[in-house]
Structure 1
Amino acid sequence: MAEVPQSVGEVTEENKQKAEDIKEQANSHFKKQNYAQAIELYTEAINLNPAVAAYYGNRSFAYLKTECFGYALSDATKALELDKTYIKAYYRRASANMALGKFKLALKDFGSVVKVRPTDKDAKAKYTECNKIVKRLAFERAIAVDDNALSVAVQINLDQMSIEEEYSGPKFEDGTLTLQFIKELMECYKKQGKLHRRYAYQILLDVVKLFKEQSSLVDITILDDSKFTVCGDIHGQFYDLMNIFDMNGLPSEENPYIHILAGNHESSTMNQMYGFEGEVKAKYTSQMANLFTEVFNYLPLAHLINDKVLIMHGGLFSEDGVTLDDIRKVDRNRQPPDSGIMCELLWSDPQPHPGCSPSKRGVGTQFGPDVTKSFLQKNGLQYIIRSHEVKNEGYELAHDGLCITVFSAPNYCDTMGNKGAFITLKGGDLKPKFTSYSAVPHPNVKPMAYANSLLSLLA
């Protein structure tokens, strides 16, 4: 947790020097992308000398790298309290606010930098880009009407999308998606090929229809002797997903995987900032990017296996007494809110100590072992599975094994060095079995290659 001293007393010269030495060690770990170790060392430096803005600014940067946007925001603010001329802190705070979709607050910080450095081209470019986002969002709100009237799915006419003779990629058989098509599609993507837009649109239309028919909480039944696989975050790491299938077999009725559910990165803001929207627009059209938003809005929020194991992306709730029926009743066809059941299912994280705490991410909550135990008892559950956090071995058991994290993207964003993992279990005892694996080679494409240019702040 971000530790911010309440007051700064007299600091000895010895402690000042120790703090500087530790800060240099922290910087070394940061450069090696050992962000957790860097955070610990920056914290030590802060405890020795709480009056140095750069310590908070550096720790804020490390928190940004680990997606702890709430802590990053707090540290950047503290740095500016200590030194209002510390330009990097404005950038750090702007970055955290952008990640949380608070573009007006980010714009204010960019404006502060421009005021101090009116000839700084980089600062002016970031201010201009952020201002464009704020204006675009305001325009979209102004023209927004009833959601049903804006449905992209009903506007698409597949018959007008002809298949060119020179197209040699995967094709449907008699207008139907088959296993052979999927196998050909995987091989196509391994070679960095591109699916014809007609087939891409048809798949999306079929998927949105499927998701619309599902509840916010989907019930799954596994027979006693049947195996079931649960994966966590993939984060678009396609070649690592292919590796999972190589190790564990392709999904099928005989070898089922967890159904797709919503995560915190499926919001419009995340798609705009981290590059998914940009990639879809570059490879297809703006209309398809809007259709993806429609698909994501209908993604279920949680899955329930055999009435005993609940699976969600983030975690549990700040309010006591939430039931499975409460989750079923959530109207999810919208952008994720900043609070409530839907928000916390997408954003929350477990913590080792009892109770709930403000989230390190700036949204959602952190919930303790007592919260997990109470929720399970109230709803007759054995344990929960969630993802949302990088883990060194790809998984972690918390809260006496009642809260399991599984993260399936190894060496996340080519920087974290973590393993990925997946879970297999059988319907009879629902005992989780963990398989860890390392990242596999992939083409030389930079992570988040299509991300908004403002995210260069995080580079």
Structure 2
Amino acid sequence: MPNITHLSTSYTNEITICGDLHGRLDDLLLIFYKNGLPSAEKPYVFNGDFVDRGKKSIEVVILLFAYLLLYPDYMHLNRGNHEDHIMNLRYGFTKEVMQKYKAHGREILQLFQDVFSLLPVATVIDGKILIVHGGISDQTDLDFLSSIERHKVKSALRFPRRSVEQLDIGQSCRQMKRLRSTACSRPSSSRSHSKNQRTPNQRNRRCGHSRQDSAASTSSSSSSSSSSSSLCSPRTPSGLSPRPFPFSPSMPCAINDLQVPFLDSLSSVPPPSPPQRDREWKQIVDILWSDPKTQKGCSPNTFRGGGCYFGPDVTQRLLLQHGLQLLIRSHECKQDGYELCHGGQVITIFSASNYYEEGSNRGAYIKVGRDLVPRFYQVRAAEGSALKALKEKLFSHRSELLSGFQQYDLNNTGSVSVSEWAQVLESVLRLDLPWRTLRPHLARLAPDGSVDYQSCFEHMESGIFLPQVTSNLAETLFRYRTDIEIIFNIIDKDHSGLISVEEFRHTWRLFSAHLGVDIDDRAIDDLARSIDFNKDGSIDFTEFLEAFRVVHKLDNKDQPLNGKMDGEKYF
């Protein structure tokens, strides 16, 4: 695979572009469900950060690799900053591999390390849309990027190994000492005469060369410092005096020395010449780690410790230089799953929903056709927590469980022993689970050590407005929540997670045609607006469930009173 993959929309109608997944298998499967599986008719570009943070990184990356092998011309993977073995060590992928593959974990990790370094770092669609994981800098050169040996950069967090391997540190230090002693022993008149013999052009060239080398040294060492410093265990080699290692790109570096991070030591050596590998390394660091900013110019990305912040002028200059019109990148979580900046020339796409917590953000993906106009599609995976599913199971059987608890709670204290609580759960739910171990997550203890069984049904973040829902209706909605969700997804034709007025109107036209009832569009629109409780112009699943509650409540008003009304059961 080349460093930069070139795709064309002339062979397909659309290309789908996805951002960070971070081990969220639910989001990946939801995208495939809504948009279709990768194939010759449905090509994909996944823009890096497949692993880390999420609990199913292995499943995500293996699924992506499987489709890459199956459809190598239609499945494309860009490398992200988390396709890096040092990042994996810190953010969970290494631990996940070792837990799931105990016997061969180390070998598998080594394979992943090698494969990650072989992934392309950029994709270009129709010569007009550039896709990279992080961003660009004022030094980004796509022509130069196409020619580098990317597989040698196993980690963007470590300075190129060549700068260490091809330099004899002890010999370099001896040479520096010898030069200093020679310079000190030389007569002052001779030094003065030699200095004055140089032409102004020669002096300027030497100064310029020194400044360039030191600048490359500064940016390279500092870009990796924030991540490498936490992994380094500094030791001072014999015969060398250590120098302070900068912790962000904004901190100055020694002018004539190059500071190289090792995993087990820090050393200062003269800068390599020529710094070809350093330039290659910095190109990849900027591509994987940079972020856009609103201000003009390019400055060190002190927050991340690597890459840079690039302004709209940097974006425009690169696009003009290479005849591009749009830059698509990922690397940052956005509340809506995507964001436009730099006058619409930069798009951030992020596909992992609920990234920080449940409900924190939507995921999104982009579809680009032959007109090269990006179209955005949002996704939000349902909560995949087994614990929450278990809580919903408890709530859906609330009546039976309360009846079972009250058989032991003869004095109506609201509490039972832990063994009685576990016995009721097992008999009602018929689930062979370690209830005593799960008790801290499901119910709280009373002061005397017994279980407050009413607490099993508190704090249900179900999407239903519990204070307004009758017990029987709430349980019914929970039991048939899956069926209601299926109905919701049928109406939600574009699978955006929201029902638009047009989608609602289309469904009701089908209903009216099937039932032979004539309903005009105005009445349908009024009904849609009545369900849209927050008045944002669309109906989400919570509002859809609430509509069932309202209908149930209105039906009860038409029925004769038999003893207590359902309204008296509100809780």
- Please give the TM-score of this superposition, normalised by the length of structure 1: 0.48
- Please give the TM-score of this superposition, normalised by the length of structure 2: 0.39
User: Larger radius of gyration, structure 1 or 2?
Assistant: 2
